[in-house]
């Protein structure tokens, strides 16, 4: 990697439905807020890995409307994650075998697909 090794990873999702998308990651998925600005909220996933939700109305980059993006999160227990999300009213796909694991999918308010697996 030019300039040395990678020290930090941050995926930035540019969203039209910014308020609802921030609430989804903060209040539904319970991700920890690392940094908050007027137009961006950064969540810490693990160690030096982050996910930011940016308000597309305040940036020069437009929303992809969820097209072509899957966030893949390995969880401790896919069955528990599926049950808990379903119980709070999140539309969950069925748990299916995939690549030697078990996974299901949900979508955030912007349309980004989220894969949860174990």
Residue 75 lies in a domain: yes
Residue 49 lies in a domain: yes
In the chain, the number of structural domains is 1
Residue 44 lies in a domain: yes
The backbone torsions φ and ψ at residue 21, rounded to the nearest 5 degrees and listed phi first, read -70, -40
What is the pTM for the complete model shown? Answer: 0.92
Residue 2 lies in a domain: no
Neighbours of 66 (CB within 10 A): 18
HEC profile of 63-113: CCCCCCCEEEEECCCHHHHHHHHHHCCCCCCCCEEECCEEEEEEECCCCCE
Residue 53 lies in a domain: yes
Interior angle at CA 19, CA 57 and CA 105, nearest 5: 105
Residue 62 lies in a domain: yes
- State residue 90's pLDDT score: 95
Distance separating alpha carbons of residues 67 and 95, to the nearest angstrom: 22
Short-list 58, 7, 53, CA closest to 29: 53
Residue 1 lies in a domain: no
Residue 3 lies in a domain: no
> Strand 9-15 and strand 49-55: pairing?
parallel
Q: What is the CA radius of gyration of the chain?
A: 15
- State residue 104's pLDDT score: 97
- Which pLDDT tens digit goes with each residue over 33-89? 999 999 999 999 999 999 999 999 999 999 888 889 999 999 999 999 999 999 999
- Which pLDDT tens digit goes with each residue over 7-24? 999 999 999 999 999 999
Domain of residue 92, residue span: 9-117
- Which pLDDT tens digit goes with each residue over 25-38? 999 999 999 999 99
* CATH number of the CATH domain containing 23: 3.10.180.10
pLDDT band at residue 1 under the 50/70/90 scheme:
confident
């Amino acid at each position: 990697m030019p300039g040395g090794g990678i020290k930090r990873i941050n995926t930035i999702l540019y969203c039209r439905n910014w308020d609802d998308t921030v609430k989804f990651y903060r209040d539904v998925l319970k991700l920890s807020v690392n940094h908050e600005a007027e137009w961006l909220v950064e969540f810490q996933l693990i160690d030096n890995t982050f996910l930011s939700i940016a308000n597309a109305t305040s940036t020069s980059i437009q929303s992809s409307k969820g097209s072509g993006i899957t966030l893949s999160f390995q969880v401790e227990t896919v069955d528990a994650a599926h049950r808990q999300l379903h119980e709070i009213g999140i539309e969950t796909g069925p748990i299916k075998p995939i690549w030697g694991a078990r996974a299901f999918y949900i979508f955030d308010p912007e349309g980004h697909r989220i894969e949860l697996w174990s």
